[in-house]
Structure 1
Amino acid sequence: MDVLEIDNVELNFGINEVLKAIYFKAERGKITGILGRNGCGKTSLLRIIFGELKPNNKLIRIDDKPILTPLYKKGFIKYLPQFHIIPNSVSLQSGFHYFNASFTDFLIDFPNYKTKEKLRFSDFSGGEKRLIETYIILKSDAKIVLLDEPFSHLAPLYIQKLKELLEIEKQNKIIIITDHLYKEILEASDALYLLKDAWSRFIKSPEELIHYKYIKSL
């Protein structure tokens, strides 16, 4: 599984045209970033790829083969939504077990959690929860990983560590990532798209983000 393409995506919410003739490509070995202002359709696009949101129109291809079944039903895709996916009543260690993730590996990457294995998820801060859930999804055995706001509320040290893990995991995964922290997406991404006015634009250089008035300066 090397190339994921989604083509001719049309999504309307009532009279509001959210996505229009969207084309998007992500490849194994590359981090593909999506940027855009709030409400531009970034999360909707991820949900459409995942298969949980049905648009007016779409065509998904994997390695040039059309895929008609929602990807989540095929079992090779994982999605990190903006909301928390681990119940507050579950202990940290149990959360890893529930998602079939290695708590041992997590402690190697983040050793300061060694004394927190019995804590319930409700005991952690928003940033800590985000780190744990992002790690679980990223390190899963999925061939396609979608990450929505993975850097949200994270300390700079944790963001840097996640970027290092992304570099490792992209060798065997198709990874798509979006975040309002655009500088982090710029640094982490090998390929980049901007969603603006319901269209997708492939960004060849950061200066284009100024041209399209997404940012004022670099």
Structure 2
Amino acid sequence: MGKLHIDSLSKSFNGNDILKDIYISCETGKVVGILGRNGTGKSTLLKIIFGTSKGDYQYIRVDNKVLQHQWDRKNKIAYLPQDFFLPKGIKIKNLIPIFCNKENSEKLTESDLIKPFLYETSRNLSGGEKKIVEALLIIFSESKFILLDEPFNGLSPKMTTEIQKLIIEQSKDKGIIISDHRYQEVLDISDEIYLLADSHLKSIKDLKELQQYNYLPKSI
């Protein structure tokens, strides 16, 4: 079992607290969901964990290794951002071995979800198709911990269900942190749920708590 541990993480912009005293952990074998309204800092939190942004204070550890630099994350943490990241001129089949080890490369190449795109380049894919390919590359990547920022955005209900299944399947050996505005899809596959509101991360044990914090309407 592996563990990703984040403690006392704080971030402010122009004197305003965005993230304050954030604590969250994720173990391999689990899916952790983070909910929150637009602008509450979910993406900022994931970027700091991944290492592409810096907190005012942060303590991030994978197992016994404290992560202080971007290169410390190699093969430990992979991140699916909201923005597209695939290089435009490389065929998808040639990108798979860059992200995945041999076993997962073979498994992903045989997936019906990616087969239609193997000989295409990113520039020939629609926005939804890019999202599918990028999500698959990250979910199947060699890293022990996976951060997913809006993985269901722009996907059809059928494709969302397929990606959910793969997240659950890969979480048997990995720890996955997922944030998406489609809260029901996050709730359906998460072992633990957190709500980011008022710069603090709150552990959610019951759906009613999301209503109490005004994230969901009382009528649900």
Q: TM-score, length-normalised on structure 1?
A: 0.90
Q: 1:135 to 1:18 in 2, by over 3 A?
A: same
Q: Are positions 1:6 and 2:30 aligned together?
A: no
| Rounded Cα–Cα distance in structure 2 between residues aligned with 1:168 and 1:116 | 22
Q: 1:141 to 1:184 in 2, by over 3 A?
A: same
- What is the Cα deviation at residue 96 of structure 1? 2.2
Does structure 2 conserve the Cα–Cα contact (< 8 Å) formed by 1:11 and 1:17?
A: yes
- Name the % identity: 38
* Matched positions, count: 216
- What is the Cα deviation at residue 91 of structure 1? 2.1
| Rounded Cα–Cα distance in structure 2 between residues aligned with 1:200 and 1:183 | 19
- What is the Cα deviation at residue 167 of structure 1? 1.2
- What is the Cα deviation at residue 100 of structure 1? 4.1
Q: Deviations over 1:171-206 (max 9, x none)?
A: 111111101111111111110110000011000012
- 3-state secondary structure, aligned to 1:24: strand
Q: Are positions 1:69 and 2:83 aligned together?
A: no
Q: Deviations over 1:38-60 (max 9, x none)?
A: 11010111111112211111122
- 3-state secondary structure, aligned to 2:58: strand
Q: Pick which of 113-122 and 94-103 moved more.
A: 94-103
Does structure 2 conserve the Cα–Cα contact (< 8 Å) formed by 1:52 and 1:70?
A: no
- 3-state secondary structure, aligned to 1:38: coil
- State how 1:108-123 maps to structure 2 within 5 Å: 108-110=110-112, 114-123=115-124
Q: 1:52 to 1:116 in 2, by over 3 A?
A: closer
Does structure 1 conserve the Cα–Cα contact (< 8 Å) formed by 2:93 and 2:109?
A: no
Query: Which runs of 5 or more structure 1 residues have no equivalent in the other structure?
Result: none
Q: Pick which of 116-125 and 41-50 moved more.
A: 116-125
- What is the Cα deviation at residue 81 of structure 1? 0.9
- State how 1:25-174 maps to structure 2 within 5 Å: 25-63=25-63, 65=64, 67-70=66-69, 72-75=71-74, 76-100=76-100, 104-110=106-112, 114-174=115-175
Does structure 2 conserve the Cα–Cα contact (< 8 Å) formed by 1:30 and 1:171?
A: yes
What is the letter of the counterpart of residue 91 of structure 1?
K
Corresponding position of 2:190: 189
- What is the Cα deviation at residue 17 of structure 1? 1.1
Query: Which runs of 5 or more structure 2 residues have no equivalent in the other structure?
Result: none
Does structure 1 conserve the Cα–Cα contact (< 8 Å) formed by 2:31 and 2:171?
A: yes
Cα RMSD (Å): 2.0
Q: 1:116 to 1:169 in 2, by over 3 A?
A: closer
